[in-house]
Every structure is written in structure tokens, then in C-alpha cells.
Amino acid sequence: MMTPEQVRLVRDSYPAIAEQSEPIAALFYGRLFELAPEVRPMFKQEIAIQGRKLMDMLAALVGHLDRFADLEPMVKAMGQRHAGYGVKLQHYEVVSSALIWAIGFALHDELSPDLKAAWRALIQMVSAVMMEGASELLPR
């Protein structure tokens, strides 16, 4: 879970991220493919389209920070879809690292350690629910 201060930090920083959504998405996918080239074939759509989906999801998450439970079924289903694409549990940390890097690159000096921790907390919260959804598809 995120602390109230982390929620505030993410919300306050989000407008600057939204303004740069296309470059952040491009930076994110470039970094992701650099860190984990094996995931590149999982992306069948144009990266620009995929990037818009990523940034739309970030907008929805930021808009529901106080009501994350409302999004949990959708996030869990997203984890199930991603498992179907071949995403493995170890990819979640790589995605987190690439997204934090892209956000940091876009925010330059504004990404304080506290702000970085706040974004990491949000990403970890989402990743946990996605992994929960993915694990429901594994044979028991």
C-alpha cells in the first residue's frame, strides 16, 4: 500500500509526466528492450499504440489512488492477459526499473528519492495484483 504522502507525491508529479507521455513511453520501451531483449517479440502492436495504452493506464491508476480496490479486477485481468503473452514473474522488476528510469529521465532533477519511492510503491502495488492474476492461470 501507499502512504498518504506517497499518494500526494504521485498525484502532484503526474501532470508533468502526462505532458511528456509520448517521450516517456518511448523511453520506457527503449529501456525495457535494452534490459530484457527477450520481451520484444511479445509486442505485436506498434510501440506508439502500446505506449498510449501504458500512459492511459497510468492516468487511470493515478486517478484511482484513493480507490485502487475499484481497479483491482481490471488490473488482475491485465496480469492474466500478460501471462498469456508470455510475461514471466521476473519481468515485473525489469518493467518497474525501466518505468522508473523513464519517469526519472523525464522529470530530471525533480525526481527526489521520496518521489522515486512513491512511484515505485505504486508500480509494486500494481505488479502485485497483476502477478496475483497471472498466478491464477498456473496449474495447481
In a domain, 103, yes or no: yes
Confidence (pLDDT) at 136: 84
In a domain, 140, yes or no: no
User: By residue range, what is the domain housing residue 68?
Assistant: 4-135
pLDDT in tens, the chain (140 residues): 899 999 999 999 999 999 999 999 999 999 999 999 999 998 888 999 999 999 999 999 999 999 999 999 999 999 999 988 889 888 999 999 999 999 998 888 788 999 999 999 999 999 999 999 998 876 55
Tell me whether residue 85 is exposed, middle or buried, using C-beta atoms within 10 angstroms of its C-beta: 0 to 12, 13 to 18, 19 or more.
Answer: exposed
In a domain, 23, yes or no: yes
pTM for the structure as a whole: 0.90
In a domain, 88, yes or no: yes
Confidence (pLDDT) at 138: 62
Do the beta carbons of residue 116 and residue 104 sit within 8 Å? yes
Question: How many domains does one find in the chain?
Answer: 1
Domain harbouring 37, CATH code: 1.10.490.10
Confidence (pLDDT) at 97: 96
Do the beta carbons of residue 17 and residue 110 sit within 8 Å? no
